[in-house]
Structure 1
Amino acid sequence: MTEQDREKWNLKYLKNRKNSDPSEILEKYIFLASRGNALDLACGNGRNSRFLAQKGFQVDAVDISNIAINNLAGQDPRINAICQDIDTWQIPQDRYQIIINIRFMDRRLFPMIQKGLKPGGILIFESFIDKKKEYCLTPNELLKAFESFHVVYYEEKKVEHSDKFDQSVYFVAIKKV
């Protein structure tokens, strides 16, 4: 990403601070994760980071938007708010009990996510499907990318909350020991 990308996301988070509810898939499957370290990729306004912290996790919340990160920083001592361009950021290896990737897409991260999770760690992924857009998943792509994981839940379904995309994908998997 570039400075132009940062400005785009800063503008979004200046205008839109209303959504504070955690992702439904995170709420539904958080029980699978052992307490410890969590990573919230492209955390945005921090709704999922705050939820993870309330559940007892130490959260690394990463986003390119300094507006979003500054709003999140200092809210909870269990949240480490990191302003980084995820296109160049490296996920630490063997660090996290849970990694969440909600409505963000960067295939370069797939191998790092695998290495960043501890054995038995949980990956929760929610994104959009569109065969024509590079920044969207294709059908069954996560199943192939994380085939060494134990898939707990996978669903591709019509989107009711978006005017840009027709389908979303929901994916929950456990890194095998």
Structure 2
Amino acid sequence: MAQKDKIKWDNKYKELPKLLEKRDPCEKLVKYINKVSKGKALDVACGSGRNTIYMAGNGFKVDALDISSVALENLSKLENPNINTLLVDLDEYTFQENFYNLITKTNFLDRDIIEKIKKALKKDGIIIIETYMEDENNEKKDSNPDYLLKKDELKSFFTDGFEILDYDEFFNETNELYRMKKQSIVVKKL
């Protein structure tokens, strides 16, 4: 496990318990959840589990992956039988191919993982990605540019074998720590 990342995120959740408070799921998930067959769902880098909880409450069996044991322990307290928390290093994790009906990945950018989750999705399944992008009006000026999307970049990952159902660029919700521009995409596997 990437011990440095684990320590960073465990400490972040301990120092900022607000990050573990109940939050609404991402808007695109709410909009599209009924357009995909119920079954297995995956929440990549689930954090506090806002999307995990919503998917589980809508009849999905959810694998919630994160590197932070603090975040996963908080999510496990719900004792929801539809939620399976997995402490993983995503750099080393092997995704099952053609396994999930619905995959979410929010507020976390790893371009290599996008390629992996594309393979993990079943035909007619949906992927929802929402994460930060470069913008001169971002409040967090010290963001690592490796973790910020370029303009329209999300679209470039889904040119073959996917239908783009929705794409958007917007400033994030007010309950996040910093005002940051984001991209979101909803795609269906053909």
- When the two structures are superposed, what TM-score results if normalisation uses the length of structure 1? 0.91
Task: Give the structure 2 partner of residue 168 of structure 1.
Answer: 182
Corresponding residue number in structure 2 for 1:6: 6
Structure-2-length-normalised TM-score: 0.85
Q: 1:37-77 deviations in whole A, cap 9, x for unaligned? A: 00000000111111111100010000000111122226211
Write the distance in 2 (CA, Å) between the matches of 1:175 and 1:103: 22
User: Which residue identity does 2:35 align to in structure 1?
Assistant: L
Task: Answer yes or no: is 1:69 the counterpart of 2:69.
Answer: no
Post-superposition offset of 1:164 = 5.0
**Aligned-residue offset at 1:155:** 0.9
Runs (4+) of structure 1 exceeding 3 A deviation are 158-166
Give CA deviations for 1:73-100 in whole Å, capped at 9, x if unaligned.
2621111100001122121100000000
Equivalence for 1:143: 155
* 1:33–1:98 Cα contact (<8 Å) kept: yes
* Residues 1:34 and 2:37 aligned together: yes
Tell me the secondary structure at the aligned position of residue 64 of structure 2: strand
Alpha-carbon separation, structure 1, partners of 2:43 and 2:172: 22
Say if 2:21 and 2:48, in contact at 8 Å, map to a contact too: no
Pick closer, same or farther for the CA change 1:98–1:160 going to 2, 3 Å. Answer: closer
Partner residue in 2 for 1:107: 111
Pair 71,168 (structure 1): closer, same or farther in 2 beyond 3 Å: same
Q: 2:168 aligns with which of 141, 151, 155?
A: 155
**Aligned residue pairs: how many?**
176
The corresponding residue for 1:120 is 124
Q: Helix, strand or coil: the match of 2:13?
A: helix
Q: CA-to-partner distance for each residue in 1:142-172, whole Å, 9 max, x for gaps? A: 1111112101100112446467564211111
Structure 2 residues without counterparts, runs of 5 or longer: 136-143
Q: Which of 83, 89, 100 is equivalent to 1:85?
A: 89
Cα RMSD, aligned residues only: 1.9
Name the residue aligned to 2:138. none
Q: Per the alignment, do residues 165 and 137 of structure 1 end up closer, same or farther by CA in structure 2, a change over 3 Å counting? A: farther
Tell which deviates more after alignment, 126-135 or 34-43. 126-135
Counterpart secondary structure, 1:35? coil
